[in-house]
Structure 1
Amino acid sequence: MSVDEITTRLRQLIPRKRILTDEDECRLYDCDGLTLHRGVTPGVLLLENENEVVEVVKVFSASGVPFVARGAGTGLSGGAVPLEGAWVLDVHRMRRIIEMNPLARTAVIEPGVINLDLDKAASVHGLRFAPDPSSQRACTVGGNIAENSGGPHCFLHGMTTRHILSVRTVLSDGTVLDLDRDDGGIDWRGAFIGSEGTFGITVRATVRLIPRPQCVRTFLISYRSLEASCEAVASIIARGLRPAALEILDRATIQAVEAS
């Protein structure tokens, strides 16, 4: 099916202004944060709700046209690269925090919610969203789910999969499926998280929130060698201590920062 034929069908589902087929506009979506790998997409759809995702996926499934989901495009694994002429389904406009439940320490969100925005919304209630990748100010929670993101604090709190209670996903044929960690049997929720969108597109998720720490202490320690610093980390862990985060900067990195 040609681009014009696909576009005509899509215009029956979403407004024309949210269907991008201009070559220059589409070029902005040819890669994610890993710019070494690029693809070429014939079109980009700016989707705003679950129903749009479902209906658009059904069109692509019926016509045999490839597609790939995209959030903020901050990933470094190439998961959002439109290979083989795939259309891009951009869900970053689906950014509602549908429900915040401080008592249950949970939130129900759409995939386009920015990680840091969720954390700030939770902070009002003395809570936080633990996964904190370096792109926290820009990355989406849907992207965190797709990549099973971590961050400095994953040493103590674990990766994203530990903080997702359930996921609503749209499969490649448009079927909507709710994946819950308490389903029993095979952990489909766990299998979905980190699959980079290959199993489906997240359209809603229930996330676990944790209490914010009452106080924070930060230590900066200098070592004569990288080996010595690694030995220190091993010693800390061996003693049963659980720092919230541990980060290291080698000499080359420090010199680069100082020179910038």
Structure 2
Amino acid sequence: MSQISLPAPDAAVLARRNDIVRQLRKLAPEASLISDQEGRRAFETDALTAYHCLPLAVVLPTTTEEVSKILRFCHDNHVKVVPRGAGTSLCGGALPLEDALVLCLSRMTKVLEINTTDRIARVQAGITNIGITQAAAADGFFYAPDPSSQIACTVGGNVATNSGGAHCLKYGVTTNNVLGVRMVMMNGEVIDIGGDYLDAPGYDFLALIVGSEGQLGVVTEVTVRLLKSPEGARPMLLGFDSTVAAASCVGGIIAAGIIPVAIEFMDRPAIHVCEHFVAAGYPLDVEALLIVEVEGSEDEIDTLLDRIAEIARDYNPVTMHRSQSAEESAKIWKGRKAAFGAIGQLSDYICMDGVIPLSKLPKALDEVGWICRKYRFDVANIFHAGDGNLHPLILYNANDPMQLERVEQCGADILKLCVELGGCLTGEHGVGIEKRELMHIQFSDADLAQQMRVKQAFDPDWLLNPGKVFPLEGRSAQ
């Protein structure tokens, strides 16, 4: 994978772009259309900033009806479409093509319904993840999945990649908290999948849509499960003199039958960067840190933290510290949530997203370190330890083409390792373009062929989010 660099469009391409923009402006007059070069530049990349390409044009609808009109037009005129939320993708999932229209749902931010009796919220797909909880908080409810980018990422993007987050150890990821979607097919048809209840009739197409990365349709509305806010919650910091000891402690906690709300892992480089950035109170004399949070009544919290401390002593912690106040708890989580941005101040990086069985966590961390040393890169490990979702951040110089190629090889070796250990290529970031050529590592040719048949059933001309997910060689259609 190399940086996308295309020559200036010729007269025919410009004429087609102008014609498409002119017709779309008539079809959806209330939608914002961006066709000038500077305006399109804001959409040329996503959070995977080493790769960029100016799209044909950008359209920002505000209703499902507008999305339907736009997709029907694109279908009839064979125009490729790249759905986009906030552009926080870390695998190139929202990268455009020169001949593709970016369909950005960031203006579709309405809360359509809050129903605390049925414990659901129905929202437009462009609302931020944290916006759902903010809308339900006054009634004492919250939406559980909480990616680190929750103040920016949209629920539509969360559905596309089946996002997780720190507190998903107890409550599950997006697929466990979404009850229904309204989706527009490539031909403009609007369909409703799932509903306001746990067990919708018919085939479970909802499980197919969540995690499909905009390959099957454009989700415009989402019905999510709301949960009652806990009586209280408190994190505990456990510091260790080795990453192996910290990783082993994670397995010990889970094996004891305790499921905390979250178990987050940070190694020494991540600890120091985040502490300097936020002053969260992290210990600086340890090699690895676990943030373990439990919730419930005060008595329940104390009992659980006592038990976790007892388990942790078997792994010789350097330090154990319980949060003493709501303010301290907020600082601890602010440090964790700000980790990617904090490291971004120091260096370019790519963030891997492999998943491994918990029993293989110590071996995985040891091997990740060895792989990065082999390629001569520093690495910071920050991840959801409780469910084995690794996020090694490999530090490099994005302006050096030689480093860019080498860091991709390094990342590929880490993902291959995850598969070899019994895990998979992605937990919550998706496949996008980053992992598409590695899909053969995870799946057989027959597996991939069947997945592509599903794609083709929803999108026969392969117009939706082209160039993503499936290896370019051997595709059944283009």
Q: Find the partner of 1:237 among 245, 254, 257.
A: 254
Q: Which position in structure 2 is the counterpart of 1:225? A: 242
Which amino acid in 1 is paired with 2:250? V
Tell me if 1:201 matches 2:218: yes
Q: Find the partner of 2:187 among 173, 177, 180.
A: 173
Tell me if 1:50 matches 2:64: yes
Is contact 1:40–1:85 with CA below 8 Å preserved after alignment? no
Distance 1:49 1:219, change over 3 A: same
1: CA distance between counterparts of 2:167 and 2:275? 25
1: CA distance between counterparts of 2:261 and 2:52? 36
2: CA distance between counterparts of 1:55 and 1:17? 11
Distance 1:80 1:236, change over 3 A: same
Q: CA RMSD in A?
A: 1.6
Instruction: For residue 117 of structure 1, report the CA deviation from its aligned partner.
Output: 1.3
Q: Which position in structure 2 is the counterpart of 1:78? A: 92
Instruction: For residue 119 of structure 1, report the CA deviation from its aligned partner.
Output: 0.6
Q: Which position in structure 2 is the counterpart of 1:8? A: 22
Q: Find the partner of 2:107 among 66, 78, 93.
A: 93
Instruction: For residue 121 of structure 1, report the CA deviation from its aligned partner.
Output: 1.3
SS of 1:189's partner is helix
Q: How many percent identity over aligned positions?
A: 39
Q: Find the partner of 1:106 among 105, 112, 120.
A: 120
Q: Normalized against structure 2, the TM-score is what?
A: 0.53
Q: How many pairs are equivalent?
A: 260
SS of 1:92's partner is coil
Q: Which position in structure 2 is the counterpart of 1:215? A: 232
- Where in structure 1 are there 5+ consecutive unaligned residues? none
Q: Find the partner of 1:159 among 160, 167, 173.
A: 173
Instruction: For residue 123 of structure 1, report the CA deviation from its aligned partner.
Output: 1.2
Instruction: For residue 256 of structure 1, report the CA deviation from its aligned partner.
Output: 2.6
Instruction: For residue 16 of structure 1, report the CA deviation from its aligned partner.
Output: 7.9
Is contact 1:39–1:85 with CA below 8 Å preserved after alignment? no
Q: Find the partner of 2:148 among 127, 134, 147.
A: 134
SS of 1:179's partner is strand
Deviates more, 1:34-43 or 1:59-68: 34-43
SS of 2:239's partner is coil
Instruction: For residue 221 of structure 1, report the CA deviation from its aligned partner.
Output: 1.2
Distance 1:125 1:230, change over 3 A: same
Q: Normalized against structure 1, the TM-score is what?
A: 0.95
1: CA distance between counterparts of 2:27 and 2:110? 21
Instruction: For residue 257 of structure 1, report the CA deviation from its aligned partner.
Output: 3.0
Tell me if 1:187 matches 2:204: yes
Q: Find the partner of 1:248 among 265, 277, 299.
A: 265
When Rg is computed on C-alpha atoms for both structures, the one with the higher figure is 2
SS of 1:145's partner is helix
Is contact 1:105–1:209 with CA below 8 Å preserved after alignment? yes
Which amino acid in 2 is paired with 1:227? V
1: CA distance between counterparts of 2:180 and 2:31? 33
Deviates more, 1:147-156 or 1:8-17: 8-17
Deviates more, 1:34-43 or 1:93-102: 34-43
Instruction: For residue 185 of structure 1, report the CA deviation from its aligned partner.
Output: 4.9
Q: Which position in structure 1 is the counterpart of 2:399? A: none
1: CA distance between counterparts of 2:254 and 2:220? 38
Instruction: For residue 147 of structure 1, report the CA deviation from its aligned partner.
Output: 1.1
Query: 4+ residue runs of structure 1 moved beyond 4 angstroms?
Result: none
Which amino acid in 2 is paired with 1:236? I
SS of 2:240's partner is coil
Instruction: For residue 259 of structure 1, report the CA deviation from its aligned partner.
Output: 5.0
